[in-house]
Amino acid sequence: MHRDTVFIVDDDASVRDALSLLLSLRGYTTATFASAEDFLSAVQPAWRGCVVLDIRMPGMSGLELQRCLREAGPTLPVVVITAHGDVAAARQAFLADAVDFIEKPFDGEQLLAAIETALSGLRTAASPQQPVARTSPATPLSAREREVMSLMVKGLHNRRIAEALGISPRTVEVHKARVMEKLGVKNLVDLVRLVDQGRA
């Protein structure tokens, strides 16, 4: 394989074709695989690039493939795509060092940005690493907002959060909006990533 190949692993042929076309038009070299097993049987230690993989596939799941790559495979950063995103899956993906977790249908530019982030990380991997500064929100979260946030990232819905904290679902909505605004995140997946990185 050529340097910095994007390896697409998805059981849906139409998705593989569409992603391969999109990436090829942007100058990327691509290789497609219909299953996690197919990819694992073909992968070589010398391959460079990143993997774009679906979570739900027959046989081995995308998260299982990600774990295998992290434990024993070559250094291939992973971008996860899924039509069935949830907090637990997002957290598992990020704990295994996924570059991004993108829910279908997604914007092509969002995927391209994630891929470029993954490949940029490869290009600078040999450079001395600078300590990553822990960032804090410009306006600190209140104690109640932190309570709401901790339940949000566990996947609880508004009514369950309200019952747990003894407040109304409407109040939960207000706190959630403030948490997202203060932390500068647009969705729950981004919030989970921020929390798991220790930046919230």
pLDDT for 137: 56
Domain boundaries, the chain: 5-123, 143-196
> Which residue from 73, 69, 68, 77 is spatially nearest to 122, judged by alpha carbons?
77
pLDDT greater at residue 113 or residue 105: 113
pLDDT at residue 177 is higher than 60: yes
Q: 46-50, 82-86, 97-101, 158-162 — which is least confidently predicted?
A: 82-86
Using an 8 Å Cβ cutoff, are 137 and 200 in contact?
Answer: yes
Please confirm whether the linkage preceding 105 is cis (ω < 30° from 0): yes
pLDDT level of residue 123 (50, 70, 90 thresholds): low
Q: 76-80, 97-101, 148-152 — which is least confidently predicted?
A: 97-101
Instruction: Please give the CATH topology (third level) of the domain spanning 143-196.
Output: Arc Repressor Mutant, subunit A (1.10.10)
Q: Please provide the CATH number assigned to the domain covering 5-123.
A: 3.40.50.2300
Using an 8 Å Cβ cutoff, are 10 and 57 in contact?
Answer: yes
pLDDT for 84: 74
Q: Is the pTM of this model over 0.85?
A: no
pLDDT at residue 41 is higher than 70: yes
Under 8 Å CB-to-CB from 33, ≥6 apart: which residues? 7, 8, 9, 39, 42
DSSP label of 192: H
